[in-house]
Amino acid sequence: MALIVRIDVDRPYGREPFLRHVASRVSSDFWWPRMESLGYLRELKEMLRWLNERGARSYAFFRRCTLPDESVLELMDSGQHVIGLHLENSRSFKTFLREKEDLERHLGRRVHAFSKHGSGGRRFGRSHYAPYEPVKYVDWARKSAMDLFLGNLEDPTLEPEITDGLRVYPSAFWLEPSWRDTGRFPLEWLVRRAKETDIVLLVHPENVLASSDLAADFQTLTGAITTRIFP
């Protein structure tokens, strides 16, 4: 069994230094040019290079403000990673479809997988609809013939539901410790669990790259455990 690596690409310019942090915040709400000089998606590219060196594969989920540029697409394609939607405006089926179609137009290909930005509570930016309503998303996934939804619950023991070609993983093992019961679910637990079943490992590149410990954990896990993409 294997790791399903889920990369939520939240910030176009990461968190550091301050100017990049500001650019990330502003471009989440307003139009802002993609600036190579500020390191557009630098953290994601670094992460994809590690995965490609190990022959490990992942799903990367993009927001409107983090759409993949040419160099990200090259890294994604050469490592055979899968592009998904990181849904922000989940107010209705219509707003969901609009985001999905915008991403598909940008890519020139269909998108079959998605995840949701935010787990309820705080609103992150103008186009973000904060409530977390997974039952709705599963319904939309069916209506639009998508085949994978990766949910945000934090109990990594929850089982997936697989019906009629749609796979729903309600929860993930969040690498960043703020969203994980680290006492119950240390990294060793994940290594053991991945031997028995497929399990989602969720990461945010700007957090992982900002911490040498998390970066080392990510490299160790994706180097030691087989990763999987569904056909």
Task: Return residues touching Zn ion (CB under 5 A).
Answer: 8, 10, 117
Nearer to Zn ion, 52 or 119 (CB): 119
Nearer to Zn ion, 84 or 160 (CB): 84
CB of 8 to Zn ion, least distance (A): 4
CB of 38 to Zn ion, least distance (A): 20
CB of 86 to Zn ion, least distance (A): 6
As to burial, measured by CB atoms within 10 angstroms (0-12 exposed, 13-18 middle, 19+ buried), residue 15 is middle
C-beta of residue 225 within 8 angstroms of C-beta of residue 29: no
Nearer to Zn ion, 38 or 87 (CB): 87
CB of 61 to Zn ion, least distance (A): 8
Nearer to Zn ion, 8 or 206 (CB): 8
CB of 3 to Zn ion, least distance (A): 20
Nearer to Zn ion, 10 or 99 (CB): 10
Quick one: three-class SS letters along the chain?
Answer: CCEEEEEEECCCCCCCCHHHHHHHHHHHHCCCCCCHHHCCCHHHHHHHHHHHHHCCCEEEEECHHHCCCHHHHHHHHHCCCEEEEEECCCCCHHHHHHHHHHHHHHHCCCCCEEEECCCCCCCCCCCCCCCCCHHHHHHHHHHCCCCEEEEEECCCCCCCEEECCEEEEEECEECCHHHCCCCCCCHHHHHHHHHHCCEEEEECHHHHCCCHHHHHHHHHHHHHCCECCCC
Rounded distance between C-alpha atoms, residue 47 and residue 64, angstroms? 20
CB of 172 to Zn ion, least distance (A): 12
Nearer to Zn ion, 8 or 99 (CB): 8
HSE, side-chain direction, 13 A CA sphere, residue 158: 17
CB of 121 to Zn ion, least distance (A): 13
Nearer to Zn ion, 61 or 140 (CB): 61
Residue nearest to Zn ion (CB): 117
